[in-house]
């Protein structure tokens, strides 16, 4: 069918493919199509299957040429893609450069463009020089974590009668939105709503407004909401809400002693056991975060040394995935999220532009890592996979057979392979890097930076 083909590289890892189809093949495609319709079409004045081809061509000539052209395009591209290396990405649909139409008795030539997998040489990835922050776990870090433990084990009790609401108190309220004439708006009533003052976990954000109120107090609160308020139904509006406090409770923190340690877990006998474990967890977490930061620093330098021309289709696919994850994280429908963005003066397209630099960087990092895997012959062996399943079974305190079955049943083994390969690449990069101590930093600094 195909007489000739020419692949011309373009920028951004796309190509221009020009194909010429033999005139005999093009003619046969047309003749076969006409014959098919002559047998199947019913035209007034002729029995089905007895329509003369001349009548068929006279009546449907342009449509037949269009359909034959489409068939030739599809079949010839299928043939060409089986023989050339520069195939389109799965999510890149070849785009016809110019409209083409079959001319009877002539060759059929057309040109399409599409995105391909980028070809590149990865930059030097061994002996990369980086700096890592000089961080040590401090007593303040330990105290902060122990305060969290105390808060998690606090008891909640009613405050003394007549005590005013304060920040961090747990209050129960009834509330209703009021109309301009101070009548209650139907459907806005809420009874026995519980929230912690200062968290903002309430629709109208009246945390500061209930501070100082006492059990049984009623107050009409007037709130002005900005145009970009997170809840579209309140954005840009002035609203009156009647709030009644029905219960005021406070947290009572336990003493930091052996008894608290034993309450937290049976593995702790003394407070020192708990402190030792807290310090170990902080130390392990810090090491993990510094490792992640080192890998990012190394990958940044590798990307700088590699010329990776990303195809637009690859970037667009990644942006689309990022958007769908963003919708899921916000736990609203796509249409609701678009309305919220609109009220904030933003659009999905603007978010895409904001995300594009980080998305492109992540894609380049992924491509560079895959290339390193290829060059270093790094793979996840069956032994590696089994060891990781065993490790996860121990962490979750589940039988290894059950964990293995879950991975296989949910088709998650390839994710394990991916993670194992990544870890091996990271080990290689960090093991060969020249790591120098950088500026002093705190544990909190590292956590905030590596969020």
Q: What pLDDT is attached to residue 451? A: 66
pLDDT at residue 38 tops 90: no
Residues 231 and 285 in one domain: no
pLDDT at residue 331 tops 80: yes
Chosen domain end from 213, 236, 252: 252
- Supply the CATH number for residue 25's domain: 3.30.70.1050
C-beta of residue 448 within 8 angstroms of C-beta of residue 286 = no
Total domains present in the chain: 3
- Write the CB contacts of 5 (distance below 8 Å, at least 6 apart in sequence): 17, 18, 19, 20, 80, 83, 84
Per-residue pLDDT tens digits for 238-257: 999 999 999 999 999 999 99
> Model-level pTM?
0.78
pLDDT at residue 340 tops 90: no
Domain range holding 376?
Answer: 259-449
Residue of 43 and 201 predicted with greater confidence: 201
Residue of 152 and 41 predicted with greater confidence: 152
Chosen domain end from 252, 270, 302: 252
pLDDT confidence band for 345 (50 / 70 / 90): confident
Q: What is the mean pLDDT of residues 378-395?
A: 94
- Supply the CATH number for residue 184's domain: 3.10.50.40
pLDDT at residue 311 tops 70: yes
Q: Is residue 133 situated within a structural domain? A: no
C-beta of residue 29 within 8 angstroms of C-beta of residue 75 = yes
Residues 246 and 284 in one domain: no
Chosen domain end from 204, 224, 252: 252
Q: What is the mean pLDDT of residues 68-95?
A: 95
From CA 413, how far away is CA 435, in angstroms rounded? Answer: 34
Per-residue pLDDT tens digits for 371-386: 999 999 999 999 999 9
Residues 272 and 398 in one domain: yes
Residues 198 and 64 in one domain: no
pLDDT confidence band for 8 (50 / 70 / 90): very high
């Amino acid at each position: 069918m195909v007489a000739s083909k020419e692949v011309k590289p373009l920028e951004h890892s796309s190509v221009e493919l020009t194909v010429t189809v033999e005139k005999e093949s093009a003619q046969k495609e047309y003749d076969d199509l006409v014959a098919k319709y002559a047998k199947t079409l019913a035209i007034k004045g002729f029995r089905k299957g007895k329509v003369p081809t001349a009548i068929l061509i006279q009546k449907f000539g342009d449509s037949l040429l269009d359909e034959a052209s489409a068939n030739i395009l599809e079949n010839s591209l299928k043939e060409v893609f089986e023989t050339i290396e520069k195939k389109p990405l799965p999510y890149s649909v070849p785009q016809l450069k110019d409209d083409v139409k079959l001319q009877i008795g002539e060759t059929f030539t057309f040109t399409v463009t599409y995105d391909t997998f980028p070809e590149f040489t990865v930059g030097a990835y061994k002996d990369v020089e980086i700096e890592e922050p000089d961080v040590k776990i401090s007593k303040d870090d330990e105290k902060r974590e122990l305060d969290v433990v105390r808060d998690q084990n606090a008891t909640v009790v009613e405050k003394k009668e007549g005590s005013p609401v304060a920040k961090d108190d747990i209050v129960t309220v009834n509330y209703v939105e009021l109309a301009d004439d101070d009548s209650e708006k139907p459907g806005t009533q809420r009874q026995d709503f519980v929230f912690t003052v200062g968290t903002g976990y309430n629709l109208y954000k009246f945390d500061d407004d209930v501070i100082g109120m006492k059990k049984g107090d009623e107050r009409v609160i007037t709130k002005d909401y900005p145009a970009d308020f997170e809840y579209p139904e309140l954005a840009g509006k002035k609203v009156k809400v009647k709030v009644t406090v029905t219960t005021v409770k406070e947290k009572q923190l336990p003493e930091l002693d052996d008894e608290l340690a034993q309450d937290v877990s049976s593995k702790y006998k003394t407070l020192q056991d708990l402190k030792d474990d807290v310090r170990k967890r902080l130390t392990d977490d810090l090491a993990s975060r510094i490792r992640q930061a080192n890998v990012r620093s190394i990958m940044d330098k590798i990307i700088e040394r590699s010329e990776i021309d990303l195809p637009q289709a690859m970037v667009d696919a990644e942006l689309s995935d990022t958007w769908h994850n963003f919708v899921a994280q916000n736990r609203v429908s796509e249409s609701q999220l678009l309305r919220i963005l609109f009220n904030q003066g933003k659009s999905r397209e603007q978010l895409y532009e904001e995300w594009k630099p980080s998305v492109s960087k992540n894609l380049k990092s992924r491509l560079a890592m895959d290339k390193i895997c290829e060059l270093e012959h790094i793979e996840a062996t069956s032994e590696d996979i089994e060891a990781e399943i065993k490790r996860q079974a121990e962490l979750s305190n589940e039988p290894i057979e059950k964990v293995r079955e879950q991975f296989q049943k949910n088709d998650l083994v390839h994710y394990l392979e991916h993670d194992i390969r990544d870890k091996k690449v990271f080990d290689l990069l960090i093991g060969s890097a020249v790591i120098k101590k950088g500026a002093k930093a705190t544990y909190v600094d590292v956590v905030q930076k590596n969020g």
